[in-house]
Amino acid sequence: MLCLNDYTWEVKANDRMFNNLFRKKNFLFFTKKKYADNSIKTSKYNFITFIPLNVFEQFHRAANLYFLFIIILQAVPVISTLPWFAIMLPLLSLLVIRGIKDLLDDIARHRSDKVINNRPCEIQKEKSFFMEKWKDIQVGDIIRLQKDNFVPADLLLLYTSEPNSLCYVETADIDGETNLKFKQAIMVTHKILCTTEALMAFDGKVVCEEANSNMHSFIGTLEWKGEKYSLNNDCFLLRGSKIRNTKYCYGLVIYAGFDSKIMKNCGKFTVKKTKLDLMMNYIVAIVFVILIVCSVSLAIASGFWAKWFQEKHSYIPPLTLNTTPAYSAFLVFWGYTILMGTIVPMSMYITLEFIHLLHSMYIDWDIDLYFAEKDMPAKARSTSLNDLLGQVEYVFSDKTGTLTQNIMTFKKCCISGNVYGTNSGEKNLKAVSFTWNKYAVKKFCFYDQSLIDMVCKNEDNLVKEFFRLLAICHTVMTDKNGDELVYQAASPDEEALVTTARNFGYVFLSRTQDSITINELGEEKTYKVLAILDFNSVRKRMSILVRDPEGKIKLYTKGADDVILKRLHPDCTNVEVTEKSLEMFAEETLRTLCLAFKEVDFSVYTEWSKKYHQASFSLQNRQKCLELVYDEMENDLQLLGTTGIEDKLQDCVPETIQLLKNCNIKVWVLTGDKQETAINIGFSCRLLTDDMEILNEQQICDILDDYWEHSNNLSGSGQDLLDNCIFRKHRGSLQARKMALVVTGEFMHRILGTFNWKIKRSQFFHNLTDRFYRKTRNPSEEEVNLRQYAFVDLATKCQAVICCRVTPKQKAMIVQLVKKHKKATTLAIGDGANDVNMIKTADIGVGISGLEGTQAVQASDYALAQFSYLQRLLLIHGRWSYLRIAKFLRYFFYKTSASVLCHVWFACFNGFTALTVFDSWFIALYSVLFTAFPALTMGLLEQDTSAKMSLQLPELYKVGQMGSLFTYKIFAWSFVKGIITSLASFFVAYGACQDTTGPGSTCDYQSFAVITATSVILAVTVEITFEISYWTLVSVLAFIISPVVYFLLSLLTQSSPVFRFMPTIFQFPDATRNTLCHGFIWLPILLAVGISILPSLLASFVTSMFGHNQVNHRNSFGVKNRPEVNTVAMTAPFRRGSLNRRSSYAFSHKEGYADLITKGTSLRRSKVNDCVPEDIEMSPKSD
What burial class does residue 316 get, using C-beta atoms within 10 Å of its C-beta: 0-12 exposed, 13-18 middle, 19+ buried?
exposed
Dist. CA 1159–CA 1157, nearest whole Å: 5
Task: Name the strand (E) or helix (H) holding 600.
Answer: strand 591-600
Q: Could you tell me which residues come within 8 angstroms of residue 322 by beta carbon, excluding any fewer than 6 positions away? A: none
C-alpha R_g of the chain? 37
Task: Please give the C-alpha separations between residue 1174 and each of 155, 192, 483, 955, 1165, in angstroms, as whole numbers.
Answer: 22, 14, 28, 68, 19
Catalytic residues: 398
DSSP, residue by residue, 151-212: P-SEEEEEEESSGGGEEEEEEHHHHSEEEEEEEE--HHHHHH--SHHHHHH---EEEEPPS-
CB 975 within 8 A of CB 288: no
Dist. CA 977–CA 971, nearest whole Å: 10
Sort strands 862-864 and 844-848 into parallel, antiparallel or unpaired.
parallel
Task: Name the strand (E) or helix (H) holding 526.
Answer: strand 523-533
Question: Helix, strand, or coil here: 508?
Answer: strand
Dist. CA 344–CA 352, nearest whole Å: 13
Sort strands 9-12 and 23-27 into parallel, antiparallel or unpaired.
unpaired
CB 183 within 8 A of CB 234: yes
Task: Please give the C-alpha separations between residue 915 and each of 290, 298, 385, 903, 1014, in angstroms, as whole numbers.
Answer: 19, 12, 41, 8, 19
CB 209 within 8 A of CB 273: no
**3-state helix/strand/coil string of 931-961:** CHHHHHHHHHHCCCCCHHHHHHCHHHHHHHH
First CA to last CA across the chain, in angstroms? 46
Dist. CA 8–CA 24, nearest whole Å: 12
Q: Could you tell me which residues come within 8 angstroms of residue 603 by beta carbon, excluding any fewer than 6 positions away? A: none
CB 978 within 8 A of CB 904: no
Question: Helix, strand, or coil here: 377?
Answer: coil
Dist. CA 537–CA 519, nearest whole Å: 31
CB 668 within 8 A of CB 814: yes
Residue 546: name the closest of 565, 570, 530 by CA.
530
DSSP, residue by residue, 666-682: EEEEE-SS-HHHHHHHH
Q: What are the CB-based long-range contacts (under 8 Å, 24+) for 221-227?
A: 222/156, 222/186, 222/188, 222/189, 224/188, 227/188
User: What is the total residue count of the chain?
Assistant: 1183
Dist. CA 73–CA 70, nearest whole Å: 5
Q: Could you tell me which residues come within 8 angstroms of residue 526 by beta carbon, excluding any fewer than 6 positions away? A: 515, 516, 517, 549
Q: Could you tell me which residues come within 8 angstroms of residue 535 by beta carbon, excluding any fewer than 6 positions away? A: 541, 542, 559, 1145, 1146, 1149, 1150, 1151, 1154
Dist. CA 826–CA 162, nearest whole Å: 46
CB 501 within 8 A of CB 470: yes
Dist. CA 855–CA 847, nearest whole Å: 8
Please give the single-letter amino acid code of residue 273: K
